[in-house]
């Protein structure tokens, strides 16, 4: 037990050279009744002993087993827990997974954003406006050069398309799931900045309690919109994607007051029911559910 790691490694190398099966090639390894097979079995024991003693944790478990042979199940558990434990640190696995998800998330958002820009560039309303802005700024005139710098129609068309898309990117504020991705919105930065966000939320919540509960101040526009968003159970990005006239209607109807919001909610539900009742597709669906939908047993005549 007093042997050091260097002494154990030196003893292992000596015994490995002595008992390695490839060294004997069928000749006796030494001792009566020993041969290549016996040397192989001996070498496996030596290798298992070295694997146990070269690591401090397994060596400590082995010493504990020698001192407490009655704790059979504990030794059994520790042995297989170490044998089956992952070789790579779990922290590294989690970090690599989070980074991979973040990269995929960022490029996925960029793809959605580019799809939105391509769609808006194909809508006549936005395309005409962007083309007019490009003409006013003299950007389209630069694409039609003459002389040696003259380019093909295809190249001019591609450059004009890029100019129109750039103007749409700068002039149109896309919100919701197709908005321009930001590096701080990906999972990795959200995890890293989580303590900051929590501290910020706690400070804001204390300020809210102090101003509106203790001092009884009146709500501002931002506070009213925040309460309305909470009542509607919408995320910040979803609420930001709403049109300005919708938010103005919320404020005019004073939806930050719970009773007013409940009335508004019932009105919206009734309006939705009327629209669904008048929708021909919904009528067809209800007719199908009544005549042929689930729960109806019929015999089909051949």
pLDDT digits (tens, 9 = 90+) for 102-161: 999 889 888 888 888 888 888 888 888 888 888 887 776 655 555 556 667 787 788 888
pLDDT in tens, 230-267: 998 888 877 877 888 889 999 999 999 999 999 999 99
The pLDDT value recorded for residue 302 is 42
Position 297 in a domain: no
Q: Are residues 98 and 21 in the same domain?
A: no
Query: Does pLDDT of 33 surpass 50?
Result: no
The pLDDT value recorded for residue 290 is 64
Q: What percent of the chain has pLDDT over 70?
A: 81
Tokens of 189: 């930065």
Domain that holds residue 258: 219-290
Position 75 in a domain: yes
Q: Are residues 96 and 156 in the same domain?
A: yes
The pLDDT value recorded for residue 300 is 45
Q: Are residues 70 and 134 in the same domain?
A: no
Q: Are residues 45 and 13 in the same domain?
A: yes
Position 198 in a domain: no
Do residues 12 and 50 lie in contact, with contact meaning Cβ atoms separated by under 8 Å?
Answer: yes
Query: Does pLDDT of 171 surpass 60?
Result: yes
Domain count for the chain, please give it. Answer: 3
The pLDDT value recorded for residue 16 is 86
Query: Does pLDDT of 24 surpass 60?
Result: no
Alpha-carbon distance of 25 to 37, in angstroms, equals 10
Do residues 39 and 29 lie in contact, with contact meaning Cβ atoms separated by under 8 Å?
Answer: yes
Alpha-carbon distance of 37 to 266, in angstroms, equals 85
Query: Does pLDDT of 23 surpass 80?
Result: no
Q: Which of 59, 84, 109 is the last residue of a domain?
A: 84
Length reported for the chain: 302
> Which phi and psi angles does 20 have, rounded to 5°?
-65, 130
> Which phi and psi angles does 243 have, rounded to 5°?
-70, 155
CA angle 117, 121, 124 (to 5 degrees): 145
Query: 40-45, long-range: CB within 8 Å, 24+ apart, which pairs?
Result: 43/16, 43/19
- Measure the CA dihedral 276/278/281/283, to 10°: 90
């Amino acid at each position: 037990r007093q042997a050091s790691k260097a002494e154990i490694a030196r003893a292992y190398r000596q015994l490995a050279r002595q008992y390695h099966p490839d060294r004997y090639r069928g000749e006796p390894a030494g001792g009566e009744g020993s041969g290549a097979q016996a040397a192989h079995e001996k070498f496996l024991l030596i290798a298992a002993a070295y694997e146990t003693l070269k690591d401090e944790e397994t060596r400590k478990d082995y010493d504990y087993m020698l001192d407490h042979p009655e704790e059979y199940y504990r030794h059994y558990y520790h042995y297989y827990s170490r044998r089956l434990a992952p070789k790579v640190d779990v922290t590294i696995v989690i970090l690599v997974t989070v980074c991979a998800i973040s990269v995929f998330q960022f490029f996925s958002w960029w793809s959605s954003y580019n799809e939105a820009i391509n769609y808006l560039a194909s809508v006549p309303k936005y395309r005409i406006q962007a083309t007019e802005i490009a003409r006013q700024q003299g950007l389209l005139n630069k694409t039609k050069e003459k002389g040696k710098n003259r380019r093909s129609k295809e190249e001019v068309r591609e450059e004009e398309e890029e100019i129109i898309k750039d103007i749409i990117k700068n002039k149109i504020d896309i919100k919701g799931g197709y908005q321009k991705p930001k590096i701080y919105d990906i999972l990795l930065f959200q995890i890293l900045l989580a303590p900051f966000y929590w501290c910020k939320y706690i400070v804001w919540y204390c300020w809210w309690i102090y101003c509106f509960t203790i001092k009884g101040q009146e709500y501002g526009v931002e506070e009213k919109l925040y309460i309305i968003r909470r009542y509607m159970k919408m995320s910040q990005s979803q609420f930001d994607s709403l049109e300005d006239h919708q938010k103005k209607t919320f404020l005019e109807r004073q939806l930050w007051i719970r009773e007013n919001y409940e009335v508004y909610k019932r009105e919206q539900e009734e309006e939705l029911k009327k629209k669904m009742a008048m929708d021909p597709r919904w009528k067809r669906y209800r007719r199908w559910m009544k005549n042929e939908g689930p729960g109806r047993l019929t015999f089909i005549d051949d």
